Amino acid sequence: MSNIVSINAQNLQQVLGETSQQKLVLLNFFSPQSPECISQAVILDKLAAEYKDYIVVANLDCDAEQALASQLAQQVGLQTLPTLVLLKDSAPVDLLGGAQTEAVIREALGKHLPAQQDLLLEQAKQALLNSDLNAAFSFAKQAYEIDSSNVRIKLVLADICTQIHKLDEAQALLDSVDEQHQDAYFNNIQAKCAAALEAKDSPEIKQKQAEVEKYPNDLALKLELSQLLNEAGQKEQALAVLFTVLQKDLNFDEAKPSFLAIIASLPDGDALAAKYRRKLYSILY
């Protein structure tokens, strides 16, 4: 169900009563004839998408629903359009009269919603449950940038980093957790990270590295080494090896597709992905 609704006499009680018991309701008095109302509606649509689990935008068209608008206007002291009334548990908790900037509306929401980092952490957890590691990493990273001292954020981010094989980053996060906060979740992540770190130095990788050292011009060996490194989560090392292959022969076997596949597997905005895209462009053009 959408969290943007149009208010009328039939759904008024449900939205302003029942719904406001579960989510923060933004009752938006507006006129479709007003440019200020239309501009603010764009902001509200954006916020509704961003806070879909926490708010409902309830639009009341004061032209189409004149009687209802007049009745409610007296109750809230409406003086201008647009006017935004925030309702929680069936009662008004804030009123913003006139056209507002996004920053002002966000500030008002911040008084009645969980902190931004907590919202991002919940989004990261949900994405993690849905196995969307890319989105999970993005949300958790944003939460960590807001509050780098929050232990739960550290642990969720470390968990995600372990799963996407950003092992050094995961271990650094775990190392920063005080002993009193090292609970069962911490121990589980620590064990997974330790196992993944151990796999980085597998006998197969060491043997293949020795072969590449012995035969540095054998591109097939380098391709095999890159595959082993990637499987062990050593994406940067795998990309570095593949890049040496591409420098010698841009169309060698599966080198370029493998290179691009590793980049695509990295989270959006990852610095490593950007670095190796630039390196590839440097030899393509």
pLDDT classification of 125: cutoffs 50, 70, 90: very high
Task: Output the DSSP codes for 185-242.
Answer: HHHHHHHHHHHHHHHTT-HHHHHHHHHHHHSTT-HHHHHHHHHHHHHTT-HHHHHHHH
Q: What is the pLDDT of residues 214-229, one digit of tens each?
A: 999 999 999 999 999 9
- Contact predicate 10/65, CB 8 Å: no
**What's the chain's length in residues?**
285
175 vs 153: CA distance, rounded Å: 14
Q: In what order do the strands lie in the sheet with 24-30?
A: 4-6, 55-61, 24-30, 83-88, 91-97
Does the pLDDT value for residue 285 go beyond 80?
Answer: no
- From residue 106, alpha-carbon distances to 1, 38, 46, 103, 269 in Å are 23, 18, 11, 5, 25
pTM value is 0.63
Task: Determine the pLDDT at residue 217.
Answer: 93
The better pLDDT of the pair 159, 78 is held by 159
The better pLDDT of the pair 199, 59 is held by 59
CATH superfamily of 116-199: Tetratricopeptide repeat domain (1.25.40.10)
Tokens describing residue 197: 């770190």
CATH superfamily of 4-110: Glutaredoxin (3.40.30.10)
Q: Domain 203-284: give its CATH architecture.
A: Alpha Horseshoe (1.25)
Q: Fold identical between 116-199 and 203-284?
A: yes
Does the pLDDT value for residue 40 go beyond 90?
Answer: yes
What stretch of H or E contains 57? strand 55-61
Q: What are the sequence ranges of the domains in the chain?
A: 4-110, 116-199, 203-284
Alpha helices in 85-166 (DSSP H): 102-110, 116-129, 133-146, 151-163
